[in-house]
Structure 1
Amino acid sequence: MSTLLSFDNVTSYYGATPILRDFSFEMEKGQCLCVLGRNGVGKTTLMRTIMGLTDRSSGAIRINGVELSGQATHVRAKQGLGYVPQGRGILSNFTVRENILLGTFARADRSGDIPEICLRIFPYLKENLDRRAGLLSGGQKQQLAIARALAVDPQILLLDEPTEGIQPNIVHEIGEILMMLNREFGISLIVTEQHIKVARKLGDAFLMVDNGRVVARGPMPEMTDELIERHMTI
């Protein structure tokens, strides 16, 4: 397998405060990497650092060997990054169609159409393209956020707490959709997740974060109960 994304001694800041410190890892093409840890340890900052949304960072971030450090967020998106932020970031006054089309602005091919994959995977959205996004349920908004990120035509889909605040039956549905995107469509995933069960089912590999540092990583079968106890229980 070839390395798709790499972090080499990355330190990422808000203001003068380093949130990630000497952060290093590699991700292989086609992988689903689950990032775990307690609240406030730097998981969201990792996602925002990949997208260039923190105040500044040092160290090297590469996608397919191309250096991303110093690149604007829209340039990174064109390298193949789709982002589903925590809280989803849906524009409530826009329609479903308009929200999805926002993702197409970062496509390398500059296509202005809704990609077929978005409509195929999310039939509810296909049937409600002219519905105002603010009227959707939490689970439907999460589907819309994923569809918007897919409209970028990403190599890597970044999902920050995709099951947070969603009913248990919808959590299962979102997990199934993510597995399909990864295993059938070959899209690499980085998922921050609090649900251990979801992470174990979804992920090929894990990254355990504590206090802004990588404290453990490896194939998912190596994520032991002892590691979870040490770095995730409060």
Structure 2
Amino acid sequence: MLMQMSSMSAFYGKTQILRDFSFALDEGQCVCVLGRNGVGKTTLMRSIMGLTDRTTGQIEFAGRQIGELPTHERSRCGIGYIPQGRQIFGKLSVRENILLGSFARADGQVEVPEMCTSLFPYLAENLERRAGLLSGGQQQQLAIARALAVKPKVLLLDEPTDGIQPNIVAEIGETLRMLNKELGMTLILAEQHIKVARKLSDRFLMIDNGRVVAEGDIDELTDELVDEHMTV
């Protein structure tokens, strides 16, 4: 087991978002976190990274309790994070954005990993280009490359296809499939696109009002569950 969350609750100020949240993740899995907007998917990702105001409960990662660690130490443990909205640094170059990710590597090496340039040829050819000049899809590729520079054991991806053109969604989906199925990287994917979730994931978690209301193998994700917990 790579990660286990036990009875975790998360707060912003006095407002509780996650409630008694528990799940386990095996190495090499791709787990998709589903639910309507505002039910806690982003808070789950931010809680794993230590970016909420307060959490209770336990988070174990690779045999280590990380719930009390600061964010940079969680990254050094091997957690890469692609936040919603990408949050790349537009005034920095592509190279500089990727190198920022490498500062969190446990081995201390600051470099643009070969994996990043081989997965994303456009970025490899435009390392000196200002990141703010990239398209939305290219910026998402850059955000993934920056997270890969951590040399992560697990990637957290918060709505990676949000606001992306359909053809680029397919490219990003193929990249994630390759990382997971061919390279064995573990993924936790918060996603609204059911088609993407069913194509990429091994398992799913359905969240409603900050709680896990359904989970299982991806072939157990029925249309009835989707209608009940995702239809507005």
Question: Please, what TM-score do these two structures have when normalized by structure 2?
Answer: 0.99
- Give the whole-Å Cα distance in 1 for the aligned partners of 2:132 and 2:62: 37
- Give the whole-Å Cα distance in 2 for the aligned partners of 1:185 and 1:74: 25
Query: Where do residues 151-230 of structure 1 align in structure 2 (5 Å cutoff)?
Result: 151-230=149-228
Offset of 1:84 from its aligned partner?
Answer: 0.3
Offset of 1:76 from its aligned partner?
Answer: 0.2
- Give the whole-Å Cα distance in 2 for the aligned partners of 1:123 and 1:184: 18
Offset of 1:112 from its aligned partner?
Answer: 1.0
Offset of 1:65 from its aligned partner?
Answer: 2.0
- Give the whole-Å Cα distance in 2 for the aligned partners of 1:113 and 1:228: 42
- Tell me the C-alpha RMSD between the 2 structures: 0.5
Task: Provide, for residues 31-68 of structure 1, a one-character-per-residue CA deviation record: whole Å limited to 9, x for no partner.
Answer: 00000000000000000000000001000001022101
Amino acid in the other structure paired with 2:83: P
Secondary structure of the residue aligned to 1:79 is: helix
Amino acid in the other structure paired with 2:68: G
- Give the whole-Å Cα distance in 1 for the aligned partners of 2:63 and 2:111: 30
Aligned to 2:20: 22
Deviates more, 1:60-69 or 1:198-207: 60-69
Aligned to 2:59: 61
Aligned to 1:119: 117
Secondary structure of the residue aligned to 2:4 is: strand
- Give the whole-Å Cα distance in 1 for the aligned partners of 2:54 and 2:46: 11
User: Given the alignment, which residue of 126, 133, 136 partners 1:135?
Assistant: 133
- Give the whole-Å Cα distance in 2 for the aligned partners of 1:98 and 1:106: 14
Amino acid in the other structure paired with 1:133: A
Aligned to 2:95: 97
- Give the whole-Å Cα distance in 2 for the aligned partners of 1:189 and 1:47: 12
1:36 matched to 2:56: no
Aligned to 2:71: 73
- Unaligned runs of at least 5 residues, structure 1: none
Aligned to 2:230: 232
Amino acid in the other structure paired with 1:47: M
- Unaligned runs of at least 5 residues, structure 2: none
- Give the whole-Å Cα distance in 2 for the aligned partners of 1:114 and 1:171: 24
- Give the whole-Å Cα distance in 2 for the aligned partners of 1:208 and 1:113: 37
Aligned to 1:145: 143
- Give the whole-Å Cα distance in 1 for the aligned partners of 2:180 and 2:117: 17
- Give the whole-Å Cα distance in 1 for the aligned partners of 2:160 and 2:199: 14
* Identical counterparts, % of pairs: 65
Question: Please, what TM-score do these two structures have when normalized by structure 1?
Answer: 0.98
Amino acid in the other structure paired with 2:32: C
In the comparison of the two structures, how many residue pairs are matched?
232
Deviating beyond 3 angstroms after TM superposition, the runs of 4 or more aligned structure 1 residues are none
Amino acid in the other structure paired with 2:181: R
